[in-house]
Structure 1
Amino acid sequence: MPITPEQQAEIDAQRAETTPTRRATAPGIEAHLYEAKPVLDHGIVRAIDYMGDDAAIVQAARVSYGRGTRTVSNDEGLIRYLMRHWHSTPFEMCEIKLHVKLPVFVARQWIRHRTANVNEYSARYSVLDREFYIPAPEHLAAQSRQNNQGRGTVLEGEEAQRVLDMLREDSNRAYDHYEDMLRTDGQQGLARELARMNLPANVYTQWYWKTDLHNLFHFLRLRADPHAQYEIRVYADAIAAIVRDWVPLAYGAFEDYRMGGAHLSRGAVEVVRRMLAGEEVTQETSGLSKREWAEAMGVIG
């Protein structure tokens, strides 16, 4: 269970409170505030706070004193222009703060996105819960034979059960030892900051993660991609659903130009021009490596 009844009561109390404000608010994300979105077996994503909306992006780009008299279509056109031409600063005027509960190995991938403010649950100060990520059977896969950092076919039958049993047993055994090292009845007990080193990478941690919209889009472009590891991709998908409601115009442009768009090298563009001119171009005559050629053909079909 991602959250306890006591935690849910605290969330419900937060969501029941409203405060008058003069700042711009976005109804789409207001509906998400504080709500715990379940992810994986014990994880959550919660929107805690935000600043700005689609209008804030436009306002920053025009450096205006207010929302102005332009129509929504004008605003959408400007946002799409900014996205299309890689003007990042106006998108940095919007920020979001998220509460995320996630396995440690996912957190170590996530923290590679360094353009954010992060405050993580301290296992030096507090005791971690007995909660571990155990993959669902359909996500228990063998190593890919083609991709050194990817998955292959799904494990089945006795082999799948053997792996699941080992994951559960090892996780619980490590936590038993963790508790035993912390115990003070009849012994001094090991310091929390040392006892934690015995815990596996699938134990859950929590953090507050605050970033601006430009860098959040970069995170989503990489982590919501079908090639991203499943365990971080489901978090990215949950965040994307919140962002889509928060800044619908900006998110639409992001989907079109970043998620659904493609980037071609100078050599690949020249190949396209030659093809459009009627020339039959092959990998050998393209000037591209085999991998570059395959990637370019994957884009242009």
Structure 2
Amino acid sequence: MSLSPEQRAEIEAQRATIASTRRTVANGMEAQLYTAHEVLDHGFVRVIDYMGDDAAICQAARVSYGKGTRSVSNDEGLIRYLMRHWHSTPFEMCEVKFHVKLPVFVARQWIRHRTANVNEYSARYSILDREFYIPAPDALAAQSTVNNQGRGALLEGEEAARVLEVLKGDAARCYDNYEAMLSQDGQKGLARELARMNLPANIYTQWYWKVDLHNLFHFLRLRADMHAQYEIRVYAETICRVVADWVPLAYKAFEDYRLGGVALSATGMACIRRMVNGETVTQENSGMSKGEWREFEALLNG
């Protein structure tokens, strides 16, 4: 990861500053504040600010003045109930603001989650750094033969070397031309807002991303899933670890009911009941298509 000495100094200065406050703080998140967690080859995730904790979720659900006589076990039971029954508003009482550095093509996936506030580094005003995402060898894979959105077998040997060479060469050449178009050596140079169109989708951008906990859990349920694209999944997995420190009771319930849970159709539930009653159920008599049956079997087999 390419944090500059100035950025590292700024982070250390931020982490060294202690402020007294009357508001509730989450000790786990206080330990996380401003720390840059490395992701991919040049990316990172770090927490800039947050509001609320596990108790804030329960407080909103009860609309109470404080903890009162409730115990941690009461709070855990309430949070699990809220998660189990898909309540949303109490989780919206907690918010977090991340600073994320990520490849542009990952950002374009990420931005589809529209229930957040985003401010991105502007290539209209500033010149982007010469930093590109180049996949590690174990992330180079062919197109899946069964999933139009997924990856199949790893590329190896000469084929992998050829692809890496193309990725590196194209990225360098595009950035060289980008710089040349901006050049001030005796020429006006093209406007930054136009020159940026020549940059590849694997160049890094940065943004501040502020989201409430309910919508963050929705993002993590989709993007931390094993079927999500690797490059966005590693960001989601990093955020999962941060959230687990911030709201441990809520994250535990989320992990149990969302990440580790499954959703079944009425047809799927009917098949399970038939199996429990000793009936042999196959794709042909299940009432499912081949694709549905394949996914159903994957759920049953873990």
TM-score range, shorter chain: over 0.9
Q: Give the whole-Å Cα distance in 2 for the aligned partners of 1:130 and 1:275.
A: 57
Q: Secondary structure at the match of 2:34?
A: coil
Counterpart of 1:184 in structure 2: which amino acid?
Q
> Deviation string for 1:245-275 (max 9, x for gaps)?
0000000000110011111111111222222
Cα contact 1:141–1:153 (8 A) shared by 2 = yes
Tell me whether 36-45 or 155-164 shows the greater mean CA deviation.
Answer: 155-164
Q: How far does residue 126 in structure 1 lie from its aligned partner after superposition?
A: 0.5
Counterpart of 1:174 in structure 2: which amino acid?
C
Q: How far does residue 136 in structure 1 lie from its aligned partner after superposition?
A: 0.8
Q: Give the whole-Å Cα distance in 2 for the aligned partners of 1:182 and 1:231.
A: 30
Counterpart of 1:78 in structure 2: which amino acid?
L
> Deviation string for 1:175-215 (max 9, x for gaps)?
11111111122111100000000000000000000001011
Q: Give the whole-Å Cα distance in 2 for the aligned partners of 1:153 and 1:282.
A: 29
Equivalent position of 2:213 in the other structure: 213
Equivalent position of 1:48 in the other structure: 48
TM-score by length of 1: 0.97
Q: Give the whole-Å Cα distance in 2 for the aligned partners of 1:90 and 1:98.
A: 21
Query: Pairwise mapping of residues 181-260 of structure 1 onto structure 2 (< 5 A)?
Result: 181-260=181-260
Q: Give the whole-Å Cα distance in 1 for the aligned partners of 2:138 and 2:248.
A: 33
Equivalent position of 1:277 in the other structure: 277
Q: Secondary structure at the match of 1:66?
A: coil
Q: Secondary structure at the match of 1:44?
A: strand
Equivalent position of 1:299 in the other structure: 299
Equivalent position of 1:267 in the other structure: 267
Q: How far does residue 143 in structure 1 lie from its aligned partner after superposition?
A: 1.4
> Deviation string for 1:38-88 (max 9, x for gaps)?
110100100000000000000000000112221100100000000000011
Query: Pairwise mapping of residues 1-301 of structure 1 onto structure 2 (< 5 A)?
Result: 1-301=1-301
Cα contact 1:104–1:204 (8 A) shared by 2 = yes
Size of the aligned set, in residue pairs, is 301
Tell me whether 249-258 or 62-71 shows the greater mean CA deviation.
Answer: 62-71
Counterpart of 1:199 in structure 2: which amino acid?
L
Q: % of aligned pairs identical?
A: 74
Tell me whether 232-241 or 272-281 shows the greater mean CA deviation.
Answer: 272-281
Q: How far does residue 129 in structure 1 lie from its aligned partner after superposition?
A: 0.3
Q: Give the whole-Å Cα distance in 2 for the aligned partners of 1:242 and 1:268.
A: 35
Q: Give the whole-Å Cα distance in 2 for the aligned partners of 1:227 and 1:289.
A: 20
Q: Give the whole-Å Cα distance in 2 for the aligned partners of 1:20 and 1:279.
A: 64
Cα contact 1:2–1:44 (8 A) shared by 2 = no
What CA RMSD, in Å, does the superposition of the two structures yield over aligned residues?
1.1
Structure 1 residue ranges without an equivalent (≥5): none
Q: Give the whole-Å Cα distance in 2 for the aligned partners of 1:256 and 1:188.
A: 59
